[in-house]
Structures are given as structure tokens and as C-alpha cells.
């Protein structure tokens, strides 16, 4: 049973994240999506909302589970009896941070492996921050996020206008 952890803030989940999870499922048996609780900045969506977005997108897929994550990634992975995490790589700007993070995790646990999946041609330009910015300025992001995330973004945008 090959299990992998996919950590992130998912604020909110985009089709880029959905793509990475779907592709991970073709190589691994099980994906634990680890939603970071202690975000550096205060997140736009609550922990429950961010977890709900992922559960809503993968309710039909029992091989995807969603969990809260705080603390060290190597410890979280150990609790799930795995030493593998998956990360998505977009442009070169992602590389430096991901390279450092993977090296640090390797220092903390020499058995630790980070698997990188290259972004897809349909999703390479998607980031949660950009999606939020566009949506809150009234732009149409319906083709870039799952339908229920789009609804939540529209509701937040409305709230912000009041
Ligand atoms: P973080 O909060 O760690 O900056 P996110 O929660 O946005 O990152 O994303 C979690 C993971 O998903 C990261 O590895 C990130 O690179 C990856 N990711 C996000 N958007 C995309 C995308 N459009 N294509 C591929 N990977 C992506």
C-alpha cells in the first residue's frame, strides 16, 4: 500500500491542486491531503472551509482523505506510516523554495522523499492567491476552480462589497 501526503494551505483549492491529486492517484494507492492549520498569514477561508473544498471535490474517491496538519511534515508523515510527500511544481519560482524544503526534510529524516509533479499545461498559471484576487475583483474563475469553490469565492466577494 503506497501512501503519500500532499500538504498545502489550499486557500482555496484550485484546479491545479485537483490535477496534482488526480495524477498522484495514478502512481500511489492513497493520498492524505494535509491542510495546514497554522498559516503564516491569516487565511481567507477557515480551516473547515478549506478542508470542505477538498472533501467536496473528492467525495467519490475513497483513496483521498483530508486531514488537519500542524507541526513538522516529517512527523505528520511518520504518524501516517509513510515517508513520501508530493508537491506540485509550477514555474522556476516554485523551485527554490521547494528545493530548500525537500533538503531540510531530508536532513530531519534521511528516509524522507519528496516527489515533484510538474504542473499541467491547463493549470500552470493557477495559484490560490491569484484566484482570490481575480474573484474578489469580479473576474470569472469558474473554469479554474471546482464549482463549489467558485460559489464560495462569489459569496466572499459579495461580503467584501458590503
Ligand atoms: P503553499 O500553501 O504550500 O504555498 P498551496 O497550498 O497553494 O501551497 O499548494 C500546495 C502544493 O500544490 C504546492 O506544492 C504547490 O506548488 C502546488 N500547486 C499549487 N498550485 C498548483 C498548480 N497550479 N499546478 C501545480 N502545482 C500546484
Tens of pLDDT, residue by residue over 49-81, are 999 999 999 999 999 999 999 999 999 999 999
CA of 8 to the centre of ligand 1 (A): 7
Question: Do 76 and 5 contact (CB within 8 A), yes or no?
Answer: yes
Which carries the bigger pLDDT value, residue 73 or residue 42?
A: 73
Atom of ligand 1 nearest to the CA of 9: 6
For the entire predicted model, the pTM comes to 0.95
Asked about 128 being catalytic, the answer comes back as: yes
Ligand 1 proximal residues by C-beta, below 6 Å: 8-10, 14, 16-17, 20, 87-88, 90, 94, 119, 123, 126-128
Question: What b-and-e string marks burial along 122-154, b requiring 16 or more CB atoms within 10 Å of the CB?
Answer: ebeebebeebbeebbeeeebeebbbeebbebbb
pLDDT at position 94 over 90: no
Spatial separation of the C-alpha atoms in residues 40 and 9, rounded to whole Å: 10
In this structure, which residue's CA is closest to atom 8 in ligand 1? 8
Spatial separation of the C-alpha atoms in residues 158 and 162, rounded to whole Å: 7
Instruction: Give the angle 26-32-38 at the CA atoms, nearest 5°.
Output: 140
The residue written with cell numbers 502512481 in the block is 27
Amino acid at each position: 500500500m503506497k501512501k503519500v501526503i500532499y500538504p498545502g494551505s489550499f486557500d482555496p483549492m484550485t484546479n491545479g491542486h485537483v490535477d496534482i491529486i488526480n495524477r498522484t492517484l495514478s502512481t500511489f494507492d492513497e493520498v492524505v491531503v494535509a491542510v495546514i492549520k497554522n498559516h503564516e498569514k491569516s487565511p481567507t477561508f477557515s480551516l473547515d472551509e478549506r478542508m470542505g473544498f477538498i472533501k467536496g471535490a473528492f467525495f467519490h474517491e475513497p483513496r483521498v482523505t483530508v486531514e488537519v496538519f500542524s507541526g513538522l511534515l516529517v512527523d505528520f508523515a511518520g504518524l501516517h506510516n509513510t515517508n513520501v510527500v508530493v508537491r506540485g511544481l509550477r514555474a522556476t519560482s516554485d523551485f527554490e523554495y521547494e528545493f530548500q524544503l525537500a533538503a531540510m526534510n531530508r536532513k530531519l529524516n534521511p528516509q524522507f522523499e519528496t516527489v515533484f509533479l510538474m504542473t499541467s499545461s491547463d493549470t500552470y498559471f493557477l495559484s490560490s492567491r491569484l484566484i482570490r484576487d481575480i474573484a474578489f475583483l469580479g473576474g470569472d474563475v469558474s473554469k479554474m476552480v471546482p464549482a463549489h469553490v467558485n460559489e464560495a469565492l462569489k459569496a466572499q466577494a459579495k461580503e467584501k462589497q458590503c
